[in-house]
Structure 1
Amino acid sequence: MTVPAFLRADLSASPQARPAEPAPVRLAHNELPFPPLPSVVAALRQALTDAHRYPDPAATRLGRRLGELLGVPESDVVVGPGSAVLLQHLVQATCTPADAVLFGWPSFEAYPFVADVLGVGRRAVALDATGGHDLDRMLDAVTPATRLLIICNPNNPTGAVVARQRIAELVDAVPDHVLVVLDEAYREFSPAVDGVAVLRAARRANVAVLRTFSKAYGLAGLRVGYCIAPGPVAAALRKVTLPFTVTAAAQLAALASLDAGDELAGRVREVVTERERVRAALESMGRPCPPSHGNFLWLPSVPDADAFAAHCASAGVHVRAVPGEGVRVTVGGVGDNEAFLRAAASFPGGWHRSGAASDRTAWRED
């Protein structure tokens, strides 16, 4: 089909979202294996009775509650329809077509995707041999065009973390024209990760922290996340954010989730316990699996990620292949994890221990 002249020619190379692949066992999207808590379901029912009304465009109650919990001014919290969309808004607020974003790789697939869609430059820096961010190399890769330096912590898909002190040193070392973005989608599974503490201690207003209700809170289907940033950054973020994008249902469910902190913490502990059990089982069958600080495990030693994913799919288990890098497996419920372990044990291909990751940026989330 001929591309109309009014469309951007560069978009022809960008991928489109694919339909979800049905599978009895869903271990590809880092979803929580538990349904919403009863109090969250009650909040959703309440939201349905007012579905004829627009939601609060500023998500005021949720922003205020988050500010109280995090010990930051309410004005420093911006709520959005997921942390990936908030990242897109950060790029819009900081970058012109002449500017660029910088990130480690492999990491969250939204980073190159957002840069490409918005028509800004991007540079990926290979992770180190442990699957962690190489902060020295990233700092060396900063140019006058760099506007955002993104650290996914814990990193998706490798599960590695960067110590708070190392991040603080990076924040202090970057030039004034660079905003450090700490993507902490999985921080509830690794409580030592605390970008808000780094933000509070920073001597400059050059840190933004992204968090989400999609992972530990189990609200992936509602699309709600938030950004904590210094006043000028938060104000700029609001200027590029469309109103009414966070539904009333998402706002009320997030508030109910925050009020159920103890119950949710118990669920997180269950996931972490399962994560360590599955990892130990993989190691015991000779399948190398490095430590993870998220709700997923990373298998960098699979020589053919696509073949492994296809083998799992034939057993009804959907996992995430990262071609040329490895396989990411969500930690699900006990039964789902057992189904995955059976598939892994029966995989006929050999496994090997891999070295440092590459600069490839080809993979995309479904």
Structure 2
Amino acid sequence: MHEHIRPRKAIASLPVYAAGKPPAPADGLTPYKLSSNENPLGPVPAVTQALAAVDTLHRYPNPGAEKLRAALSEHLQVPDADIVTGTGSLGALTQIIAAFAGTNQDGTADEVIYPWRSFEAYPIVVGTAGAASVTVPLTAEHRHDLDAMAEAVTERTRVILLCTPNNPTGPALTHAEVEQFLTKVPAGVVVVIDEAYLEFVRSEDPVDSLALYRTHPNVVVLRTFSKAHGLAALRVGYSIAQQGITQHVRAAAPPFSVSTLAEEAAVASLNHLDEVHERVQQIVEERQRVQAGLQGLGWPVPESQGNFLWLPLGDHALEFAHAAGVQALAVRAFAGEGVRVTIGEREANDRLLALCGTYSFPGVNRLTE
């Protein structure tokens, strides 16, 4: 009987999101999960205290996370009407795509342009909305090819996604190149600047997305509390845009998408940003240490500005992931492309470096060989 029950064609053709797997146990080794870009340091202590104080689990949360929006408004110096919260930045992105891209009455699909490889959920969100993905390959340096993305714009283009730093490869865009890119994009095309890893960026010319949103009515800024703030399990993110955009995004947003626990935790974390930044800096320093270690071993690792590193292993990706698993390290393999490794606890990072010091594949020129 089940053969008569069929989903929409768009759903049937969607790729399956592959979440990072937990590590397998190994004798004598502490297992570490380096596959999901989680913050190994967790949230600041004030978050635990805020969660313990919540006694309204029998009540619905604020419909539009008004308390969190007010806190973000004060912190970012933007109107609270310009902020729309969501279930993580992925939920916030889903709302944006639902509002601006889909299938038209004549059956044609709107187009959404994004780099590839990039965030694995992009094709799922676009396809679910009934829109068409237009993917633009990354450059040889694993960066966005902004010229090619601008050339890919057609009269059917409705949304462009910029992921900076790019997940899973790591490089970040510069403010100058994004500003130049925006001059090539029609005013009616929504440009989403996905900044899930914003706090980890230490580049010389970081994107000032808030300045861009203030001067470009078609720019949307996308952020999350999952990474730097260590609140991945609570699923809270948000978008920032001018009200010509947010009025439509808010219409597409389900009420109560941010739970009371998530809202209280996010507000508490915002109120202790110095502690958040101290933890982020620890992770940045570990990223720099591990990246330098890998480069010293001859690995062609692109400069990452996130809390992860990209190993361009190509056809050896699954083989390396298996070797890491034997060492009780869970990493995220993209078959035929590479492996993304989250910066985790120091012991986990040291074990990764030890593995990379013994693992050989074409393209690695070891100084010891």
Equivalences, count: 349
TM norm structure 1: 0.91
Counterpart residue number, 2:347: 335
Does 2:316 correspond to 1:309?
no
Does 2:133 correspond to 1:119?
no
1:87-135 CA-partner distances (Å, limit 9, x unpaired): 1111110113120100011111111111122221111001112111111
Counterpart residue number, 1:174: 185
How many angstroms does 1:224 deviate by? 0.2
> Counterparts of 1:10 and 1:120 in 2: how far apart (Å)?
9
Counterpart residue number, 1:251: 263
Counterpart residue number, 2:28: none
Q: Which amino acid aligns with 1:86?
A: A
Counterpart residue number, 2:297: 285
Counterpart residue number, 1:145: 156
Contact 2:21/2:35 (8 A) holds in 1: no
Counterpart residue number, 1:41: 48
Contact 1:320/1:329 (8 A) holds in 2: yes
Contact 1:29/1:320 (8 A) holds in 2: yes
**DSSP 3-state at the match of 1:246:** coil
**DSSP 3-state at the match of 1:155:** coil
Residue number among 29, 32, 36 corresponding to 2:39 in the alignment: 32
Identity fraction in percent = 42
Residue number among 186, 209, 216 corresponding to 1:195 in the alignment: 209
- Cα–Cα, structure 1 residues 106 and 240, in superposed 2: closer, same or farther, change >3 Å? same
Counterpart residue number, 2:252: 240
**DSSP 3-state at the match of 1:167:** helix
Q: Which amino acid aligns with 1:8?
A: R
Contact 2:236/2:258 (8 A) holds in 1: yes
Residue number among 58, 65, 69 corresponding to 2:64 in the alignment: 58
1:134-170 CA-partner distances (Å, limit 9, x unpaired): 1111000001111001100111111111111211122
Q: Which amino acid aligns with 2:363?
A: H
> Counterparts of 2:348 and 2:211 in 1: how far apart (Å)?
36
Tell me, which stretches of 5 or more residues in structure 1 are unaligned? 354-366
Tell me, which stretches of 5 or more residues in structure 2 are unaligned? 24-30, 104-108, 365-369
Contact 2:19/2:36 (8 A) holds in 1: no
How many angstroms does 1:303 deviate by? 4.1
Q: Which amino acid aligns with 1:194?
A: D
> Counterparts of 1:332 and 1:220 in 2: how far apart (Å)?
15
Contact 2:316/2:361 (8 A) holds in 1: no
156-165 vs 337-346, which moves further: 337-346
Contact 1:303/1:350 (8 A) holds in 2: no
Aligned pairs for 1:148-227 within 5 A: 148-190=159-201, 192-202=206-216, 205-227=217-239
Does 2:4 correspond to 1:4?
yes
**DSSP 3-state at the match of 1:144:** coil
Counterpart residue number, 1:270: 282
1:7-63 CA-partner distances (Å, limit 9, x unpaired): 32442333445676331211011100112221100111122x211111001111111
Contact 2:175/2:208 (8 A) holds in 1: yes
> Counterparts of 2:166 and 2:18 in 1: how far apart (Å)?
24
**DSSP 3-state at the match of 2:310:** strand
RMSD across aligned positions (CA): 1.7
> Counterparts of 1:170 and 1:291 in 2: how far apart (Å)?
22
**DSSP 3-state at the match of 1:276:** helix
> Counterparts of 1:15 and 1:138 in 2: how far apart (Å)?
22
How many angstroms does 1:310 deviate by? 1.1
> Counterparts of 1:52 and 1:20 in 2: how far apart (Å)?
32
Residue number among 65, 78, 82 corresponding to 1:72 in the alignment: 78
TM norm structure 2: 0.90
Counterpart residue number, 1:294: 306
> Counterparts of 1:3 and 1:27 in 2: how far apart (Å)?
39
Q: Which amino acid aligns with 1:197?
A: A
- Cα–Cα, structure 1 residues 124 and 18, in superposed 2: closer, same or farther, change >3 Å? closer
> Counterparts of 1:182 and 1:64 in 2: how far apart (Å)?
22
**DSSP 3-state at the match of 2:102:** coil
- Cα–Cα, structure 1 residues 352 and 237, in superposed 2: closer, same or farther, change >3 Å? same
1:282-317 CA-partner distances (Å, limit 9, x unpaired): 122222212110100111145411111111011110
Counterpart residue number, 2:106: none
- Cα–Cα, structure 1 residues 351 and 238, in superposed 2: closer, same or farther, change >3 Å? same
> Counterparts of 2:361 and 2:15 in 1: how far apart (Å)?
31
300-309 vs 254-263, which moves further: 300-309
Contact 2:112/2:158 (8 A) holds in 1: yes
